């Protein structure tokens, strides 16, 4: 299975995938300053900087990608790609979906909303990407506590630790399922 990871920022989830020994065939980013690109170069993973006018589907086809992993990719995936890759695109989200998902819930905003609502728990979710934002079938989900003393940043860090464990696990689950 040829795997592409897509990341717009730091790429700590991408790093977690590499650290688990999962072979990543391509790192795609839409941001040339993304630290994820440096991580790819340091680990011998080919990179592709996606231009605004470029077709993602064309790139994925050219590299013969089977599985697309969205790891902090801050742009919605076009419908032609979603249709061409049913149950072949996964995303990591820093909340217990379906809570705190959809439009406007990204990055620190998710954790701010969780604290605002005085939730006692939060967590991370890996799900398949379908036609709508953050609604596809859930693959794995893991919870953590939310404390009275939490700031959005401290909660973000706790959830990120879960993400780093959960995303490689979900990929392994899919790859193993494929090989059965």
**Contacting positions for ligand GRF (CB under 6 A):** 7, 9-13, 71-72, 92-94, 160, 163
**In terms of CB distance, is 62 or 164 closer to ligand GRF?**
164
**Would you call 148 a catalytic residue per the annotation?**
no
Closer residue to ligand GRF (CB): 30 or 163:
163
Distance (Å, whole) CA 69 – CA 23: 12
CB of 167: closest distance to ligand GRF in angstroms?
8
Interatomic CA distance for residues 29 and 34, integer angstroms: 7
Question: Based on CB atoms, which residue is closest to ligand GRF, 73 or 85?
Answer: 73
**Which residue is at the shortest CB distance from ligand GRF?**
72
Element (DSSP H or E) covering residue 117: none
Task: Output the smallest distance, CB 133 to ligand GRF, in A.
Answer: 12
Q: Measured over all CA atoms, what is the biggest interatomic distance in the chain, rounded to whole angstroms?
A: 50
- Closer CB to ligand GRF, 82 or 163, in the complex: 163
Which is nearest to 50 in space by CA: 65, 135, 164, 102?
Answer: 65
Among 93, 111, 127, 164, which one carries the catalytic annotation?
93
Instruction: Return the closest-CA partner of residue 47 out of 13, 89, 6, 93.
Output: 6
The 8 Å CB, 24+ separation contacts for 51-55 are 55/80
- Smallest distance, Å, CB 180 to ligand GRF? 28
Least separation in angstroms between CB 72 and ligand GRF: 3
Q: Which of 13, 28, 129 is nearest to 71 (CA)?
A: 13
Catalytic residues: 93
């Amino acid at each position: 299975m040829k795997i592409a990871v897509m990341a717009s920022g730091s790429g700590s989830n991408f790093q977690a995938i590499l650290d688990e020994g999962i072979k990543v065939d391509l790192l795609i980013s839409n941001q040339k300053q993304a630290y994820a690109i440096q991580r790819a170069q340091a680990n011998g993973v080919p990179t592709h900087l996606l231009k605004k006018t470029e077709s993602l589907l064309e790139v994925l086809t050219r590299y013969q990608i089977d599985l697309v992993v969205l790891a902090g990719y801050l742009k919605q995936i076009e419908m032609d790609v979603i249709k061409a890759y049913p149950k072949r695109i996964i995303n990591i989200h820093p909340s217990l979906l379906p809570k705190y998902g959809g439009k406007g819930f990204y990055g620190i905003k998710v954790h701010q909303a969780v604290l605002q609502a005085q939730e006692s728990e939060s967590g991370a979710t890996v799900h398949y990407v379908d036609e709508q934002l953050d609604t596809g079938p859930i693959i794995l989900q893991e919870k953590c506590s939310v404390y009275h003393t939490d700031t959005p940043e401290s909660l973000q860090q706790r959830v990120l630790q879960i993400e780093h464990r959960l995303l490689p696990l979900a990929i392994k689950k899919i790859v193993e399922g494929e090989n059965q």
